[in-house]
Structure 1
Amino acid sequence: MVQDGVSGVIPVVDVSEHVFERISGDDVTHHVSDRVVETCAREIARAFEEYGAVVVRDERVSEQENDAFVRLLQRYFVQPREIKMQDVRREISYQRGTTPDHVERARDHADTAKRLGQQHQPTQARSRADPKWRVMWSLADASSATTASSTTQNVVPLAFEKDWVETMNGWGKKLLTTLNNVCSLLAIGLGLEPDVFEKLLRGGEHLLAPTGSDLGAPDVVEGTVLAAFHYDMNFMTIHGRSSHGGLFVWTRGGERVAAHVPRGCVLLQAGAQIEMLTAGRVLRGFHEVVVTPTALHQTHRATNEASRWRVSSTVFAHVRSDVLLTPLIDEDTTTAHSQRACSSSKLHQPSSSSCSSSSQWRRTPQLARDQIRDELQAIALANHD
């Protein structure tokens, strides 16, 4: 039976609006001290180191806006397939518009799953195409674009021309603002300059990327995998509250944890790029999305067909495409944390020689654009050239 949760809780860090103002330079009256900022920063860094994720309570997060966003996407996804297919842009690797169901395919992580305890196994370790749909909406600043895709036009569905752009940009950019603020606190907590991550993210190909899954479909049952065991290829992902839950994440120690996002909060999870930039001090977060008993009960009580769709509220933040993915931390610190990563992580187990030399993260540096290309090819979204 699929559980709605297991032991273990992702830390919730309550970050006041004044802390966010302080780190962004807007707190001219100094409502909070450096000590308060440093305490928040340490808590966020510890959560990312141990869980690869953190839940942040942000007074600026509007539940009304999140709910309006989810309802808009439910109305979109409930449309007939042939209408949604008009919004597909396969020729640009689905990085704009709609990705149909059974297209995204996670990498095969069966070997990784073997290292996990029996009670913490992914629901599905072998790779199969996910049954979810997705919409990709660029939040990138065209004025600082570093790739042609950054200036590629977004797709506005014909039936939603009235409120689509305002809703997508409004909610997406609010999530992105919170993510940037959290990145500043994370940098402080890791002993780096506060703006080190923000500078790398400036001009990145950030994507509002909600998923849609029809939980009322006849083949959907308890335990149906909507997004198979995987990690995100980008720098960091931020989630508002989804409509039906079902997200599970794995801690550094290999424990499977239900990711509950309380009202007024957001969930942030580490991607592959931050692992490379921190030399494994923060590891990419593995996760899956599964249909739970609670989600099915909610679906059975749905008053209309649209509200049976599970919609996520997701933004993928990327570093700029011309960023070289190499550790930002000095060599001695890099080596120490690489050894810690080897010894404490059941999800990331390089060879013993890699542990001693920290070469796991000191391989030939790769440009972010090349890393993303390789990842898109690996999950069947881009063709091999």
Structure 2
Amino acid sequence: MTDIASVSLAQPLETIADELGRSFAEYGFAVVRDHGIPQELIDEAEAVSKAFFALPDSVKRAYKIEGGGGARGYTPFGTEKAKDAAVFDLKEFWHVGRDLPAGHPLAEFMAPNIWPAEVEGFRETMSALFSAFETAGGRVLEAIALHLGRPRDFFAASVEDGNSVMRLLHYPPLGPDAPEGAIRAAAHGDINTITLLLGAEEAGLELLTKQGEWLPIPATKGALVINVGDMLERQTNGRLRSTTHRVVNPRGEAARRSRYSMPFFLHFRPDFLIEPLPECVSADDAAPPPEPISAHDFLMQRLREINLA
């Protein structure tokens, strides 16, 4: 049994902020219920996602943007590798990002979305889900701000028009021709500020504890699994942990069926300077705090490491 926090976002944030903070400091993860994303929207998004991934490979590959680093559209099976991994992950995915109006000062950092014409309702459903994820993520960030002793709207300006990405993930049934040692998602840390994950109720998601043990992350249907990304870890000088995690291959009957999930990678604005908060820096720290870096430069540095840029 783990003591990863499981909290309701329907509670006053002041009553759950420190429980979330404790869990993020120890595990880098927490589970959130009553997050406000309607179940009907989740169900519709799952159906639309499955419809896209069921399309012929040639149709899906037409939506791969060469040179785009996977930031928008389709990324085929066998493309992404975790940092330092020897083989690719057993997954394919689609990315939806922020739509910015023409002439927006941050437009140079965010490519326009593309939408599959073959799937009815794809654009409308995924745009609605992106917005709902952003609202839920903003509420989690308010709780984190309170835990850090900051005003609840502390993060609002830094994530406004942030380079957030919603990923629709498909892990196909495991085949006999998978490379030796390949798993659905090799051990990795997330680059962004926080990640909100729908679809974690099926077994397989595990985190690496401070003690070096792999721990399954329990989640009930409809709940969000939240984890800290590298950007927030950097800003809090390691006080909140970006924890290594993975998705292991199932056994038995589960290995013969697909797995689907929808993570939302909430990002700072590209021009936001990530620098350690003064209250998270101490003269007793084992290492000096990291140097300030813009969110965009940090993102590009990490994308190169995982074969996406």
Asked if 2 retains the 8 angstrom alpha-carbon contact of 1:235 and 1:270, the reply is yes
1:329 CA drift (Å): 3.0
Determine the structure 1 residue equivalent to 2:281. Answer: 334
Does residue 227 (structure 1) correspond to residue 174 (structure 2)? The answer is no
Separation in structure 2 between the aligned mates of residue 253 and residue 192 of structure 1, nearest angstrom? 30
Cα deviations by residue, 1:1-22 (Å, 9 ceiling, x for unpaired): xxxxxx5252201221xx4xxx
Determine the structure 2 residue equivalent to 1:148. Answer: 108
Alignment-mate amino acid for residue 14 of structure 1? S
Determine the structure 2 residue equivalent to 1:170. Answer: 128
Say which SS state the counterpart of residue 158 (structure 1) adopts: coil
Say which SS state the counterpart of residue 134 (structure 1) adopts: strand
Does residue 297 (structure 1) correspond to residue 297 (structure 2)? The answer is no
Does residue 282 (structure 1) correspond to residue 240 (structure 2)? The answer is yes
For structure 1, the 5+ residue unaligned runs are 1-6, 20-35, 109-125, 301-307, 340-354
Does residue 92 (structure 1) correspond to residue 50 (structure 2)? The answer is no
Alignment-mate amino acid for residue 8 of structure 2? D
Cα deviations by residue, 1:53-88 (Å, 9 ceiling, x for unpaired): 110111523333223212221221122211111000
For structure 2, the 5+ residue unaligned runs are none
Does residue 376 (structure 1) correspond to residue 303 (structure 2)? The answer is yes
Separation in structure 1 between the aligned mates of residue 32 and residue 43 of structure 2, nearest angstrom? 18
Asked if 2 retains the 8 angstrom alpha-carbon contact of 1:9 and 1:257, the reply is no
Separation in structure 1 between the aligned mates of residue 101 and residue 200 of structure 2, nearest angstrom? 29
Asked if 1 retains the 8 angstrom alpha-carbon contact of 2:45 and 2:125, the reply is yes
Asked if 1 retains the 8 angstrom alpha-carbon contact of 2:276 and 2:290, the reply is no
Aligned residues: 307
**Which runs of structure 2 are paired with 1:48-67 in the superposition (5 Å)?**
48-58=24-34, 60-67=36-43
Determine the structure 2 residue equivalent to 1:241. Answer: 199
Asked if 2 retains the 8 angstrom alpha-carbon contact of 1:247 and 1:288, the reply is yes
Alignment-mate amino acid for residue 183 of structure 2? V
Alignment-mate amino acid for residue 138 of structure 1? G
Select the residue among 47, 58, 70 that pairs with 1:71.
47
Determine the structure 1 residue equivalent to 2:160. Answer: 202
Separation in structure 2 between the aligned mates of residue 9 and residue 75 of structure 1, nearest angstrom? 37
Separation in structure 2 between the aligned mates of residue 284 and residue 197 of structure 1, nearest angstrom? 18
Separation in structure 2 between the aligned mates of residue 220 and residue 70 of structure 1, nearest angstrom? 26
Determine the structure 2 residue equivalent to 1:8. Answer: 2
Structure with greater Cα Rg: 1
1:292–1:10 distance in 2 versus 1, CA, 3 Å: farther
Say which SS state the counterpart of residue 291 (structure 2) adopts: coil
Determine the structure 1 residue equivalent to 2:273. Answer: 324
Q: Please, which moves more after superposition, 137-146 or 257-266?
A: 137-146
> Which protein is richer in helix relative to its size?
1
1:196–1:87 distance in 2 versus 1, CA, 3 Å: same
1:324 CA drift (Å): 1.1
1:251–1:192 distance in 2 versus 1, CA, 3 Å: farther
Cα deviations by residue, 1:312-344 (Å, 9 ceiling, x for unpaired): 1111111011111111233xx4127x74xxxxx
1:368 CA drift (Å): 1.1
Determine the structure 2 residue equivalent to 1:313. Answer: 262
Asked if 2 retains the 8 angstrom alpha-carbon contact of 1:231 and 1:284, the reply is yes
Matched residues, percent identical?
Answer: 27
Say which SS state the counterpart of residue 237 (structure 2) adopts: coil
Separation in structure 1 between the aligned mates of residue 165 and residue 196 of structure 2, nearest angstrom? 11
Say which SS state the counterpart of residue 159 (structure 1) adopts: coil
Q: TM-score, normalised by structure 2?
A: 0.91
Does residue 101 (structure 1) correspond to residue 77 (structure 2)? The answer is yes
Cα deviations by residue, 1:156-184 (Å, 9 ceiling, x for unpaired): 11211x30011111122212211110100
**Which runs of structure 2 are paired with 1:106-125 in the superposition (5 Å)?**
106-108=82-84
Determine the structure 2 residue equivalent to 1:305. Answer: none
Determine the structure 2 residue equivalent to 1:347. Answer: none
